[in-house]
Amino acid sequence: MADPIELRLGWVIVYVDDPAAASAFYQAAFGLAGEFVHPSGSYAQLDTGATKLAFASYALGEQNFDRGVRRTGVDEQPPNVELALVADDVDAAFAHALEAGCVALASPEDKPHGQRVSYVRDPFGTLVELATPI
């Protein structure tokens, strides 16, 4: 049997209508650093350490594979993926996210395993968890 292939997570891409606007929002709402926006405007990437967070246009998704991805409506139930952002002060991060334009889904709460967690939804429909380190 062949040796197993070793993979690692390189980036997470969220599909949105306007990647540059999503990147700017995440910089303002969550203090993430912008890395670059493609000149076409179809892709933007944030500097989030070893694993990057990026935004791609729905149109780019349609170019990459037939029919692209399902659009997420902000009034629908959140999609089956969440972005987890780690903060030492979840309450402050939660308040700042709401001021920036996120919608509260669950206020900060201490979980049985000792972590403090909250949930918001960004203006693009993405589910975001704000949590202390595990």
Q: Which residue would you say has higher pLDDT here, 91 or 70?
A: 91
Q: Are 94 and 118 in contact (CB under 8 A)?
A: yes
Domain 1-71 of CATH type 3.30.720.120? yes
CATH of 78-134, one of 3.20.20.30, 3.10.180.10, 3.90.730.10, 3.50.50.60: 3.10.180.10
What does the alpha-carbon distance between residue 134 and residue 32 come to, in Å, rounded to a whole number? 20
What is the pTM assigned to this prediction?
0.92
* pLDDT score recorded for residue 132: 98
* pLDDT score recorded for residue 56: 97
- C-alpha 69 chain-centroid distance: 16
